[in-house]
Amino acid sequence: MKVHLRVFVETENLGKAMNAMTEAGITGFYILEYKGMSPQDWKGFVIKEEPESAIGLIRDYATDAVLICSVVEEEKAEEIEKLISETLKKDKFTILEVPIRKIIVNYGNEEEVEEEVDVWLLEKEVPCFYCGENAVQRIRVDVNKAKIWCTNCGAARYYLIKGVERPER
């Protein structure tokens, strides 16, 4: 399954994060510049409900940051997460993985290419196979594979599903 990987870093760490992603083998990315604030940064502030006040607060107190985005296979995302965690272990960063259910690419005058992915996302609270704690186990089932991971310790199990039948279209 493909995921939309989003890596939030402070601007001065952009090069380190991009080098880690490139080392993991990403084939392309895009970046968005923004100003960001963590909850700790605005704790104690009372923001007036006028847009100018809120925008002024962000301009004055927010940190310059960058969002690096790439579409990658789920397995590649895990490798990227490890490399970024090692590379930026002393720096602030956030990584989000967003499952992609469908990709439509328009090549101009060429025929439209469509890829549809049926994905099930489930959660169940049971004892973890690894740490033994009663915790939510997240389950992601794709067309031919499944991943189960513990929200407590992060341990994951992977399964390949053989003999998949697809419905006629």
The CATH architecture to which 2-117 belongs is 2-Layer Sandwich (3.30)
| Among 8, 163, 166, 11, residue whose Cα is nearest residue 84 | 8
Query: What local confidence, expressed as pLDDT, does residue 101 receive?
Result: 82
pTM (two decimals) = 0.58
Q: Are 101 and 50 in contact (CB under 8 A)?
A: no
| 119-169 and 2-117 share a CATH fold | no
Q: β-pairing, 134-141 with 145-150?
A: antiparallel
Looking at the domain that runs over 119-169, which CATH code has it been given?
A: 2.20.25
Extents of the domains making up the chain? 2-117, 119-169
Average pLDDT across each block of 10 residues of the chain; the chain has 169 residues. List them in order: 90 91 86 82 73 80 89 88 92 91 75 63 89 90 84 86 64
pLDDT at 163: 63
